[in-house]
Structure 1
Amino acid sequence: MSEKPSDDQPSASQIPDDVWEQFTRDTERDIRSSAPKEPSARARMVTERLRGQQARGEVPPGWRTGPAWQEINGRAARRRKLWTALGVTVAVAVAVVALKPSLLPGDPFGTGESQAAEASPLPAETTAPTAPPAGPDPETPTLDEPFAGSPALRWADGEAGIVLPAAKAVGSVPADRVEQALKLTKKLLVGANLDPKTVRGGRPGSALAVLDPKQPKLLDELDTALRSPSREHDPVTLFSRFDPDEVRPVGDVIKTRGRMTFEKGTHGGVAVRADYTFVYPLVRADGPTEVTRTIVRRVVEVELADPARYQVTQGRLLLLEYDQEIGNSSCFVYDGYLHPEFSSRTPTGADPSGPATDPYDRSKDIDDGDDGDCGTVTRT
């Protein structure tokens, strides 16, 4: 292993002596550190517990979707429970440049650049992606790194992920009014999904303030859902809310990715469609530091109508339609909160019955599916 290569090996003969010596020292150290070790008692206990869970058919985090608010009566919001199966393979390379490419002067293979690109933020989403995101290596999220192992690691933080498109006139609607509609839509999204008060289970006052009180029954139904949640009036179909007695957020960052489009509306104004995914890292409120994530994708359609032609409130939005898919939340629980599940705790809610879904896949529209669908996810 430590013998210097002969001159008839062109790939190694060009390596300087000091670089070769550094390589041999590092290689010998790596071999010693990678030697098999007896698993700890804790590791054996965890392994046995996971095997027991698998044998009992226990599954973790779920995925839910639901219809637009006006379609909820008589229909169950579709919720799918999700489970992530991750595997890691390890290969041993014997070639010098494969095992220690950084030893070659100048980084000829660009490994430093690729690693920097992998960790750099993604550009804003302007069109629908054509495929699911390629996830990073499987990693367990921690208090210090709550997005480890998640494609959301490269997403923008909070409001920074809601990038407004350039406003331009739509028919007779001037550009400044289009810009107003876009800003109001962003305010609605922030108030419903990013406002700390909302996320911690409080009343989403800033989101409700954007909606038109003259829209028939809308605010009354939302108030009913917040005050007395039920299957027919479930506030999590529009608001991301967690029970503070059950879980608490990890840090202040909620990862956000999506896009906004606009067109001529049906009420003399401009209609805006927002499609965004939010990723929430959470821990249990009773002490354990195990981190889990809930993924919420929302599609909201609103319109800033023409107050000269319709009985609407100036500067308020009509909520035309909204839908959602929620990954890692107990199925069929209608208490007004999302309920993330933890691998260390026995799952609650209904057993999975639907297909597996990637909660980070934004290349597909939200699936209508069947009522009562409760499936699995491929990752959280």
Structure 2
Amino acid sequence: MHHDALSDHPDLNDQEWLKKATKSAERDIRRLRRKGKRRRRMVSALLVVAIAAAGYLMYQRGLFAPGQPAPAASAPSTTVTTKVPDVVVDLNQPFVGTAAAGWADGEAGIVAPAAQPIGKHTAEQVADAYVKARQVVIAARLDRKVVEGHDIERILDLLAPGARAETRPILADPSKSDAWATRVANGYPLLPVAPKVNGHMSATVDGDGDLVVHTDYVFAYAFHTDRPRDLHGAMDIVAMTRWKADYRMLGATWPKSQRGIWLGPHDGFTYSMACGAAAKGMLAPWYSEYRVSAPPASHEPEFYFDVTKPITDEDGCVT
């Protein structure tokens, strides 16, 4: 008969220690999810122990994703000292338990400031620029025909005529244009709830005197799953993306074909996503690709949802 020494370890039979270690490990594991430039960090001995304990308990509960090897240990009979309460994720309120829970729903989160005259531009012209930029952001990040249906023409229709031809091939390739549009990976539908949105926009004039609308928004998307009882927590189905993007508004001093919105500089990242999809510029939930070998994050999850924080350059997809 095989003897499982791990199951007899006194710490793994201490209910309070198990709860604390599992909670700590799952929190730190969730911190491993990012896209950007990697920053190397050391993993503490305590985290190694906690992850080992959590991994063992996840093995008991059958929480490893299909195709991912479970720890080589035989599970003991479930007893009152080893059972960990199941995590409950409400698919009707998927953002509960995340930093986005209190944010506005969908379009309500994209609010322009009161328009003021800027340079030679009147308050009315600035207000019109805000309206046009807002329309593009909504189409690119919230319109389900774009996000789930991948219909980029709905974005292109809002740009200046001269911008469409050169922008179309860029938007057609998600790996080159996730800064301008969110597209979820096929096979991972969103839940029928509005994404959560937080951020702001402002306006300045560029060197040519044209208006530029600056946007900085975080969007959190909730994905469907047929097995909510297998989730580790709400962040397993919530993926977020943050992008700072500029929209240049060319006016009457330009040829007619050039007048309108042009896409400008951008910077951003995704978090709590599947790395395989992210490499293709697509968004998919972390539960589809559980990873425990990625480098640890530099901050708590709340940092990556905070629009007042700097854009991170970490890479949680490098092993």
TM-score range, shorter chain: 0.5 to 0.7
Pick one of 215, 235, 239 that aligns with 2:181.
Answer: 239
Instruction: Give the conservation status (yes or no) of the 8 Å contact 2:214–2:246.
Output: yes
Q: 1:273 to 1:242 in 2, by over 3 A?
A: same
Q: 1:348 to 1:312 in 2, by over 3 A?
A: farther
Instruction: Give the conservation status (yes or no) of the 8 Å contact 2:190–2:224.
Output: yes
What does 1:1-380 correspond to in 2, within 5 Å?
A: 62-65=33-36, 140-215=88-163, 218-226=166-174, 229=175, 233=176, 235-245=177-187, 247-284=188-225, 287-289=226-228, 290=231, 292-309=237-254, 313-314=258-259, 316-331=260-275, 333=277, 334-342=279-287, 347=290, 351-352=294-295, 355-356=298-299, 358-367=303-312, 369=313, 373-374=315-316
Q: 1:323 to 1:170 in 2, by over 3 A?
A: same
Instruction: Give the conservation status (yes or no) of the 8 Å contact 2:32–2:295.
Output: no
Instruction: Give the conservation status (yes or no) of the 8 Å contact 1:201–1:337.
Output: no
Give the AA of the match of 2:170: L
Aligned-pair distance for 1:312? 5.2
Q: 1:185 to 1:142 in 2, by over 3 A?
A: same
Q: 1:253 to 1:309 in 2, by over 3 A?
A: closer
Give the AA of the match of 1:281: A
Aligned-pair distance for 1:147? 1.2
Q: 1:58 to 1:149 in 2, by over 3 A?
A: closer
In structure 1, list runs of 5 or more residues that go unmatched.
Answer: 1-43, 66-76, 86-138
Aligned-pair distance for 1:148? 0.9
In structure 2, list runs of 5 or more residues that go unmatched.
Answer: 1-14, 41-49, 51-86
Deviations 1:323-370 (A, max 9, x none): 22211123364334112211xx65269833663452212222213x37
Instruction: Give the conservation status (yes or no) of the 8 Å contact 1:278–1:297.
Output: yes
Q: 1:264 to 1:194 in 2, by over 3 A?
A: same
Q: 1:222 to 1:375 in 2, by over 3 A?
A: closer
Q: 1:311 to 1:351 in 2, by over 3 A?
A: farther
Which structure shows the higher helix fraction? 2
Aligned-pair distance for 1:270? 1.1
CA distance in 2 between partners of 1:272 and 1:350 (Å): 40
Q: Using the TM superposition, name which of 356-365 and 345-354 deviates more.
A: 345-354
Q: 1:174 to 1:355 in 2, by over 3 A?
A: same
CA distance in 2 between partners of 1:365 and 1:58 (Å): 22
Give the AA of the match of 2:205: K
Instruction: Give the conservation status (yes or no) of the 8 Å contact 1:298–1:325.
Output: yes
Instruction: Give the conservation status (yes or no) of the 8 Å contact 1:330–1:349.
Output: no
Q: What is the alpha-carbon root mean square deviation over aligned residues?
A: 3.6
Aligned-pair distance for 1:197? 1.3
Instruction: Give the conservation status (yes or no) of the 8 Å contact 2:296–2:316.
Output: yes
Q: Secondary structure at the match of 2:145?
A: helix
Could you say which residue in structure 2 is the equivalent of 1:127? none
Q: Secondary structure at the match of 1:222?
A: helix
Aligned-pair distance for 1:259? 0.8
Q: 1:79 to 1:154 in 2, by over 3 A?
A: farther
Instruction: Give the conservation status (yes or no) of the 8 Å contact 2:190–2:221.
Output: yes
Which has more radius of gyration? Answer: 1
Instruction: Give the conservation status (yes or no) of the 8 Å contact 1:79–1:326.
Output: no
CA distance in 1 between partners of 2:256 and 2:180 (Å): 24
CA distance in 1 between partners of 2:151 and 2:310 (Å): 29
Instruction: Give the conservation status (yes or no) of the 8 Å contact 2:212–2:246.
Output: yes
Identity %: 23
CA distance in 1 between partners of 2:165 and 2:311 (Å): 26
Q: 1:140 to 1:324 in 2, by over 3 A?
A: farther
Aligned-pair distance for 1:167? 1.3
